[in-house]
Structure 1
Amino acid sequence: MTKPILLAPSILSADFATIGDVVRDLDAAGADWIHLDVMDGHFVPNISFGPDMVRAVRRLTGKTLDAHLMIAPADPYLAAFAEAGADIITVHTEAGPHLHRSLQTIRALGKRAGVAINPGTPESAIEPVLDLVDLVLVMSVNPGFGGQAFIPAVCEKIRRITAMTAGREIDIQVDGGITAETAPAAAQAGANVLVAGSAALKGGPERYRDNLAGIRQAAERATGTWA
Structure 2
Amino acid sequence: MTDVRINPSILAADFANFERELGRIQTADAAHVDIMDNHFVPNLTFGQPMVARLQEVSPIPLDLHLMINNPDHWAPQFAEMGVFSVTFHLEAATAPATLARSVRERGARAGVALRPGTPFNQIEELLEHFDQLLIMTVEPGFGGQKFMPETMPKLRQAREWARKHESEIWLQVDGGVSQDTIGMAAEAGADTFVAGSAVFRGDPADQIAQLRTLAGQHAH
**TM class, shorter-chain normalised?**
over 0.9
SS of residue paired to 2:91: helix
Match of 1:14 in 2: 13
Q: Deviations over 1:155-202 (max 9, x none)?
A: 111001101122111000000000011000000111000000111101
SS of the residue aligned with 1:85? coil
Are the equivalent residues in 1 in contact too, given 2:177–2:198 (CA < 8 A)?
yes
What stretches of structure 1 of length at least 5 have no aligned partner?
A: none
For structure 2, the 5+ residue unaligned runs are: none
State the alpha-carbon separation in 2 of the partners of residues 158 and 214 from structure 1.
22
Paired residue type of 1:180: Q
Q: Does 1:173 align with 2:172?
A: yes
Matched, 1:70 2:42: no
Is the CA contact 1:133–1:170 (under 8 Å) kept in the aligned structure 2?
yes
2:11, 2:33 within 8 Å by CA — same for their partners in 1? yes
SS in 1 for 2:118: coil
SS of the aligned residue for 2:25 comes to helix
1:52 partnered with 2:49:
yes
- Residue 184 of structure 1 aligns with an amino acid whose one-letter code is G
Q: CA RMSD in A?
A: 1.2
SS in structure 2 at match of 1:153: helix
After the TM superposition, which residues 74-223 of structure 1 pair with which residues of structure 2 at under 5 Å, given as runs?
74-166=71-163, 167-203=166-202, 207-223=203-219
Counterpart-to-counterpart distance in 2, 1:90 and 1:77: 11
Q: 8 Å contact 1:159–1:189 — kept in the other structure? A: yes
User: Are the aligned partners of 2:82 and 2:107 in contact in 1 as well (CA < 8 Å)?
Assistant: no
Shift of 1:55: 1.4
Report the CA distance between 1:222 and its aligned residue: 2.0
Contact 1:34/1:63, CA 8 A, preserved across alignment: yes
**Partner SS, residue 101 of structure 1:** helix
Matched residues, number: 218
Percent identity of paired positions between Structure 1 and Structure 2: 41
CA distance, structure 2, for counterparts of residue 56 and residue 26 of structure 1: 17
Q: Per the alignment, in what secondary structure is the counterpart of residue 84 of structure 1? A: coil
Aligned equivalents of 1:135, 1:178: Cα separation in 2? 18
Query: SS of the counterpart of 2:80?
Result: helix
Runs of 4+ in 1 over 3 A off after TM superposition: none
When normalised by structure 2's length, the TM-score is: 0.95
Write the distance in 1 (CA, Å) between the matches of 2:219 and 2:101: 33
2:80 and 2:107 in contact (8 A); partners too: no
Deviations 1:111-132 (A, max 9, x none): 1100100100000111121121
